[in-house]
């Protein structure tokens, strides 16, 4: 009898436990469902970070300010900028573009003339290489006019490498790429402004030079419009950086004087800070800011010279 009661007692307990277990299971399944939905919601709302860098060769900041540049102005309104940034003291194209794309000055990247003799790309590669090491799935594009820039690219750094004879053709290709392709990082170099500087001088009083700057701005407009019309644009978070490799005076550049070494820098997009940047910005900051926006950790061991500028956080 006692045994029976015990059995029944324990039997009841067991039944209770089973009921409780069932309830707990139901609850945890419900919780799991809610958490999964929340994660799905969050992941749907996490945008893909992407970067467009547009470099206008030989675009002197005071002439850029004088020119009518509505496309760049609207990028500035949604971003951070400075007209007092600095490029390499050897203000020739090869040295400065290499600084922009490796994140180090010429004493490290070793490009000291436009012939690009023995660049130190083993230690200081094009930042596309670091992007690929971070995530080989990210698609890297380099579309330019001045061919020499590509001398620092190594096998596998870029998915698309293209060179064109003028800036209209460069822009056409970039528009095509941004419209139809899965671009993550794209570097664009426009060269016609520098051609105008060598021919007509780089000063704000040079009307033909100013016209060339204005044309470059309209090309920037075409690229940014193409970017905004991307099929998946609402799920993407683009950082647009516009800068230059050097300024110029007396129909040339290359010296360590303010007219040649002062450059501008614009970083525009949701993740950019707003307004004028007060700290000193340098050409070597460009690729580091781009990498940071892509979610990369800038490693101490890379011993880069640049820093992140104009980004929130
Ligand atoms: Zn140049």
Stretch 71-80: mean pLDDT: 98
The length of the chain, given as a count of residues = 313
- Is residue 79 pLDDT above 90, yes or no? yes
- CB-based contact 253:92 (threshold 8 Å): yes
Q: What angle do CA 173, 177, 181 make, to 5 degrees?
A: 160
- Centre of ligand 1 to C-alpha 58, Å, is 5
- Which residue stretches of 135-189 are H helix? 167-180
pLDDT in tens, 142-185: 999 999 999 999 999 999 999 999 999 999 999 999 999 999 99
Return the pLDDT at 313.
72
- Centre of ligand 1 to C-alpha 216, Å, is 14
The lowest-confidence range among 9-23, 219-233, 239-253, 293-307 is 9-23
Distance of CA 256 to the CA centre of its chain: 27
For residue 34, name the pLDDT band (cuts at 50, 70, 90): low
- Centre of ligand 1 to C-alpha 194, Å, is 6
3-state secondary structure of 32: helix
pLDDT in tens, 102-129: 999 999 999 999 999 999 999 999 999 9
Domain 48-302 belongs in CATH node 3.50.50.60: no
Average pLDDT over the chain, rounded to whole? 91
For residue 1, name the pLDDT band (cuts at 50, 70, 90): very low
The gap between the terminal CA atoms of the chain, to the nearest Å, is 74
- Centre of ligand 1 to C-alpha 112, Å, is 13
- Centre of ligand 1 to C-alpha 252, Å, is 10
Tokens 């409780």 -> residue:
20
pLDDT in tens, 218-227: 999 999 999 9
- CB-based contact 92:287 (threshold 8 Å): no
- Centre of ligand 1 to C-alpha 215, Å, is 17
Q: 160-163 and 140-144 as β-strands: parallel, antiparallel, unpaired?
A: parallel
Cα gap 267→270, rounded to integer Å: 10
Return the pLDDT at 46.
86
- Centre of ligand 1 to C-alpha 309, Å, is 22
49, β-bridge pairs: 237
3-state secondary structure of 144: strand
- Centre of ligand 1 to C-alpha 115, Å, is 13
Cα gap 99→286, rounded to integer Å: 9
Residues with CB under 5 A from ligand 1 (ion): 57-58, 93, 194, 245
- Centre of ligand 1 to C-alpha 230, Å, is 30
Return the pLDDT at 242.
98
- Which residue stretches of the chain are H helix? 2-45, 61-66, 70-77, 93-102, 106-109, 127-134, 167-180, 192-200, 207-228, 258-261, 286-293
- Centre of ligand 1 to C-alpha 258, Å, is 15
- CB-based contact 145:170 (threshold 8 Å): yes
């Amino acid at each position: 009898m006692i045994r029976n009661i015990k059995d029944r007692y324990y039997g009841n307990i067991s039944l209770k436990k089973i009921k409780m277990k069932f309830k707990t299971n139901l609850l945890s399944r419900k919780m799991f469902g809610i958490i999964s939905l929340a994660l799905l919601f969050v992941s749907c709302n996490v945008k893909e970070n992407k970067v467009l860098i547009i470099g206008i060769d030989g675009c002197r900041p005071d002439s850029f300010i004088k020119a009518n540049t509505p496309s760049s102005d609207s990028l500035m309104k949604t971003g951070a900028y400075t007209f007092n940034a600095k490029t390499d003291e050897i203000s020739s194209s090869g040295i400065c573009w290499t600084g922009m794309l490796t994140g180090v000055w010429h004493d490290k990247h070793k490009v000291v003339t436009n012939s690009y003799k023995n660049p130190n790309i083993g230690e200081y590669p094009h930042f596309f290489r670091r992007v690929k090491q971070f995530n080989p799935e990210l698609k890297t594009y380099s579309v330019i006019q001045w061919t020499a820039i590509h001398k620092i690219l190594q096998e596998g750094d870029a998915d698309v490498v293209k060179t064109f004879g003028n800036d209209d053709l460069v822009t056409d290709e970039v528009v095509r790429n941004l419209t139809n392709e899965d671009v993550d990082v794209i570097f664009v170099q426009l060269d016609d402004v520098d051609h105008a500087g060598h021919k007509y001088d780089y000063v704000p009083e040079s009307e033909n030079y100013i016209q060339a700057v204005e044309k470059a701005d309209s090309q920037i407009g075409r690229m940014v419009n193409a970017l905004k019309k991307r099929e998946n644009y609402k799920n993407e978070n683009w950082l647009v950086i516009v800068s230059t490799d050097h300024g110029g005076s007396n129909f040339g550049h290359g010296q360590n004087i303010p007219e040649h070494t002062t450059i501008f820098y614009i970083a525009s997009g949701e993740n950019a800070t707003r307004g004028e940047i007060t700290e000193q910005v340098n050409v070597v900051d460009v690729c580091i800011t781009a990498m940071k926006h892509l979610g990369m950790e800038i490693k101490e061991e890379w011993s880069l010279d640049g820093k992140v500028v104009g980004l929130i956080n």
